[in-house]
Structure 1
Amino acid sequence: MPTSIIPATLRDLSYIAANLRPEDRAEIDCQLDGWSPALLALTALQGFAYVAELDGNPEAGFGAAEQRSGLWIAWSWGTRRMKRCVPEITRFFRAVLGPQVAARGAWRVEARAFAENELALRWLDRLGATRRCRLAGYGRNGEDFFLYDWTRTSNLGESWNHVSLSETAGTEAAAAGADCAGQGRAGAGSGTSR
């Protein structure tokens, strides 16, 4: 089953959001009041947003959005078939998304994960993120989360941290090709992060 990464569209993200795997639905439910698949999809389109397709069907959305100068929030969520897309998303994160964000001057990229979402916690570790702290009572009903980050000065893991600004000049041009919709120009936005 081939997995491909494409620029996100409202249609694809809405489909994924309407068919979330239980772990992602629980994580989103305890962070957002009164959300809908369309609203989650619209929010996710801020910044860089991508979709992982499995056999041509959208199964996972992921990306990063700038919160303020130098601070970005990474996010991802998907359907029950998302697990099959994780290897390709991981490769894309390291090869394209991380360098894209670094090229935009990010000093810090944060992700928050529901403390009970073991898959997300393991994946963030594999992506080279640093677990900073437990966010006790972060969820609407007192659920605990963990805060992860990547920083430009960190020496942990194989991630965008090791890409200098001078090296990203060519990467930004390559990423623009993967970013046909001109994403990343919208400015600040928020997304459910992982």
Structure 2
Amino acid sequence: MILEPVNPAIAQAVGLMCRERDFREFSAVTGLYDREQLSLWMAGCYGSLEGLLAASADDGIPVCVGGAVHIRPGTAALLFYATDCFDEIGLPMTRFIKRQYFPQLEAQGYHRIECVTSAAYPEMHRWLEVLGMQREGVLRSYGAGGEDFIQYARVSGARTTSH
């Protein structure tokens, strides 16, 4: 597996060839239902974001784009999309996220890593749980077409509040 910072061309290429279920999920949160339009949107939004990575199989062809985006102090939101070739790097990617990426985020001061995913995407739910994330709840009618999503999070160093 080859990791590199994402760029607009990679973000667009992976978006154009992303798995059908990733396309449906991103369409639901963007309102873009044309692959070309969605891939151009991904290039513009994700192609230059610091901290996002692209992963390729050993042949150098990009397979996935993902990473964490700072959304508020101590909290990062995950995003991820991949082509049908993700199975070629799925195991090393899972190991990388669990053993290196999440610990790096926590070392940078992130105590909460969260993401939302389509309620109709059980494969992603299983993978997020393998990564150590916990299901927090259902977000009703979260998508542009009224689709339900599920909130997942990994919380470290949580403190109790006193009133």
Question: TM-score band (shorter)?
Answer: 0.7 to 0.9
Aligned equivalent of 2:42:
40
TM-score, L = length of structure 1: 0.73
Aligned equivalent of 1:53:
56
* Mapped pair 1:130 → 2:128: no
* Mapped pair 1:112 → 2:109: no
Contact 1:8 1:51 in 2 (8 A): yes
Q: How many residues align?
A: 152
Q: Which string of whole-angstrom CA distances, capped at 9 and with x for unpartnered residues, describes residues 106-145 of structure 1?
A: 1211011111112111100100001000111111111111
Q: What amino acid sits opposite 2:11 in the alignment? A: L
* Mapped pair 1:102 → 2:106: yes
Question: What's the offset of the Cα at 1:23?
Answer: 0.2
Question: What's the offset of the Cα at 1:95?
Answer: 2.8
Contact 1:138 1:144 in 2 (8 A): yes
Aligned equivalent of 1:174:
none
Which of structure 1's runs of 4+ aligned residues deviate more than 6 A?
Answer: none
Q: 2:96 aligns with which of 77, 88, 92?
A: 92
Aligned equivalent of 1:22:
20
Q: Which string of whole-angstrom CA distances, capped at 9 and with x for unpartnered residues, describes residues 1-50 of structure 1?
A: xx222222222111101111100000000001345313213322424111
**CA separation of 1:113/1:125 partners in 2, compared to 1, >3 Å: closer, same or farther?**
same
Q: Which string of whole-angstrom CA distances, capped at 9 and with x for unpartnered residues, describes residues 39-87 of structure 1?
A: 2133224241111101210011110010111111011101111222221
In 1: Cα distance, 2:41 partner to 2:56 partner: 21
Q: What amino acid sits opposite 1:38 in the alignment? A: L
Aligned equivalent of 1:78:
82
* Mapped pair 1:149 → 2:153: yes
TM-score, L = length of structure 2: 0.86
SS at match of 2:143: coil
**What value does the CA root-mean-square deviation take over the aligned residues?**
1.6
Question: What's the offset of the Cα at 1:92?
Answer: 1.4
Q: What amino acid sits opposite 1:66 in the alignment? A: H
Higher relative contact order (CA 8 A, sep 6+): 1
Aligned equivalent of 1:13:
11
Aligned equivalent of 1:183:
none
* Mapped pair 1:68 → 2:72: yes
Identity within the alignment, %: 25
The answer for unaligned runs of 5 or more in structure 1 is: 155-194
